[in-house]
Amino acid sequence: MMAARCQRTSHSATPEMKTLLLDDEPFELQLLEHHLRRLGFDEVVACRSARAALDLLPGADSGFELIFCDLQMPDIDGVELIRHLRELNYPGGLILVSGEDERILLSVEQLARSRGLNVLGALRKPIVPADLAEVLLRHNARRDAAADAAAACDYAPERVAAAIFNGELVNHYQPKVDLLDGTLAGVETLVRWQHPHDGLVFPDRFVEVAERSGRIDDLTSVVLAEAVRQAWQWRETGLDIKVAVNVSMRSLASLSFAELVLAELERAHMPPSALVIEVTETALMQDPRAPLDILNRLRLKGIGLSIDDFGTGNASLAKLRDIPFSELKIDRGFVHGAAANRLLRAITETSLGMAKRLGMTSVAEGVEDRSDWDFLSAIGCDQAQGYFIARPMPPEDFPEWAADWQERRPGLIACPAGMAV
């Protein structure tokens, strides 16, 4: 019975991605199939009901690599189908299709991602070939990136441990500047691995390995010790700035962490107020009590605490409630392009309002161009960080950047009063 509602169509064109189309409206189904055929899709199965589609998807080995799913369907709707796909461990790509409001599409997309599905994008009906081609292009790019990332994660824990102990990690620093007048407010320390063969390796390729293999505390101490030493050196040359260090929530599981931080500051004769700890969370904490204890103690000593990636799933409001943060970093995913996007703008402005009401310094990360800068300046954000100002750099490049910045500053601070935001 189900098979009668599913039409199997084979085409001779090259892409061999086995694709499932799901929509209760026959016209939309035919149109999508037509567009895909013109793009050279080889094997397309069109289904008019989610039940029929689920019969074709018995498990991870069904062979489907791509599913286009309409959200609005009479029996099982798109949201429910997402749950079933999760239960079936569907490994392929998912493209959501809907004639509904854009926000519904975006939020279902988010939901599917949070369930671990590989969402390639969302398409508004009526589907136009250009949008379809763009989503598919993105799919291929992501597939390549995922393959790169998989290959990139291949450092063995022993190799990462050796890098930590052999002094192969180096700190780069990215400036945070005041949006009001462009003065340098501080720097964020971003660790890199100067690999003897692979060149400069970025933290996404080894920080998680260190976390998973119980080496994150060692990594943190090495980065922290060097950052504090560098801050002291800058201070000696008259540059009195705050230095921020990223600390994963996992490092906050051992109660000795606070002692380690205080000892490093003391050794370098630096006041606690010179240090900011940016708290990043990559995994759910098993016991949230230890971090609360440590962070509260550090704050009491005068060390700055920053809630990193604010607005993303990991940086929740509950954390704001429980931890006395002094700084809020608005995640770059909400910052770049916010001036021209209603949704991003609302999130950025709300985060900023929250920081203000709680007396926290607001920092926007991912400031990539002049319009990001002007927007943040107009809404009264305190500090900006991002490629527009400077990329992370080794400390020896800092004086040259600072000199360039002095020249750029005057042209940036004159944001016309009353500018429409």
What does the binding site for Ca ion look like in residue numbers (CB under 5 A)?
Answer: 246, 278, 308-309
Q: Count Cα atoms within 13 angstroms, Cβ side, for 278.
A: 24
Tokens describing residue 359: 């007396």
Tokens describing residue 369: 């161009």
Minimum gap (Å) between residue 201 Cβ and ligand C2E: 10
Residue 392 binds: one of Ca ion, ligand C2E, none (C-beta under 5 to 8 A by kind): ligand C2E
Identity of the residue numbered 315:
A
Q: Count Cα atoms within 13 angstroms, Cβ side, for 402.
A: 16
Q: Which is nearer to Ca ion, 76 or 354 (CB)?
A: 354
Minimum gap (Å) between residue 91 Cβ and ligand C2E: 27
Minimum gap (Å) between residue 143 Cβ and Ca ion: 25
Residue nearest ligand C2E by beta-carbon distance: 386
Residue 202 binds: one of ligand C2E, Ca ion, none (C-beta under 5 to 8 A by kind): ligand C2E
Alpha helices in 268-389 (DSSP H): 289-300, 317-322, 332-335, 342-357, 370-379
Q: Which is nearer to Ca ion, 246 or 377 (CB)?
A: 246
| Binding-site ranges for ligand C2E (CB under 6 A) | 174, 190-191, 202-204, 207, 223, 246-248, 278, 280, 308-309, 332, 365-368, 386-387, 392
Closest C-alpha to 194, from 168, 218, 163, 175? 168
CA distances from 188 to 45, 172, 175, 343, 384 (A): 51, 8, 6, 28, 11
Residue 338 binds: one of ligand C2E, Ca ion, none (C-beta under 5 to 8 A by kind): none
Minimum gap (Å) between residue 309 Cβ and Ca ion: 4
Q: Which is nearer to ligand C2E, 174 or 377 (CB)?
A: 174
Rounded CA-CA distance 274/141 in Å is: 42
Residue 387 binds: one of ligand C2E, Ca ion, none (C-beta under 5 to 8 A by kind): ligand C2E
Query: 411: phi > 0 → left, psi -120 to 50 → alpha, else beta; which?
Result: alpha
Minimum gap (Å) between residue 246 Cβ and ligand C2E: 4
Q: Collapsing DSSP states into helix, strand and coil, what is residue 386?
A: coil
Q: Which is nearer to Ca ion, 79 or 285 (CB)?
A: 285
Place of tokens 């994660």: 153
Tokens describing residue 291: 């971090």
Rg (CA), the chain: 25
Q: Which is nearer to ligand C2E, 118 or 248 (CB)?
A: 248
Minimum gap (Å) between residue 308 Cβ and ligand C2E: 5
